[in-house]
């Protein structure tokens, strides 16, 4: 009998609880955050219009009011930009966020 150590290692982080989804966006604030890729300048206005038709009391804060979340750079830089966007979203009262829209 041989004792063997797996190179895969054990799990270091267990599953985290997930917040329940929002079922109705009426009366909520939705923030748009773009990564600068793809056609967000064309896509976000369409998504915004469709949300406002479906949820007349939704408030949408356009992507132009948030810094672009460029996915280039070091991991640290990307995390710092994401943290700054999250802090701004909290400050602006966002209940939900549409993030990305790009390649």
Which residue segments constitute the domains of the chain, with CATH numbers given? 29-100 (3.40.120)
**Number of C-beta neighbours around residue 28 at 10 A:** 17
Q: How far apart are CA 19 and CA 29, in angstroms?
A: 17
The predicted structure's pLDDT at residue 102? 59
Distance between CA 99 and CA 63 in Å, rounded?
9
Q: pTM for the full model?
A: 0.74
Q: What is the DSSP string of 63-75?
A: GGGS------S-H
What are 8-57's pLDDT values in tens digits? 766 667 788 888 888 899 999 999 998 888 888 899 999 999 999 999 99
d(CA 51, CA 60) in angstroms, rounded, equals 9
91 pLDDT higher than 70: yes
Question: What is the distance between the alpha carbons of residues 34 and 36, in angstroms, rounded to a whole number?
Answer: 5
Residue found under tokens 């369409």: 46
């Amino acid at each position: 009998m041989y004792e063997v150590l797996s190179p895969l290692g054990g799990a270091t982080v267990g599953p985290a609880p997930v917040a329940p989804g929002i079922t109705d966006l009426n009366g909520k604030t939705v923030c748009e955050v773009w990564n600068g890729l793809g056609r967000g300048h064309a896509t976000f206005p369409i998504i915004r219009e469709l949300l406002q038709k479906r949820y007349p009391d939704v408030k949408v804060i356009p992507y132009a009011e948030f810094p672009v979340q460029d996915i280039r750079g070091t991991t640290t830089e990307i995390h710092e930009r994401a943290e700054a966007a999250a802090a701004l979203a909290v400050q602006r009262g966002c209940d939900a966020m549409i993030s990305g829209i790009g390649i």
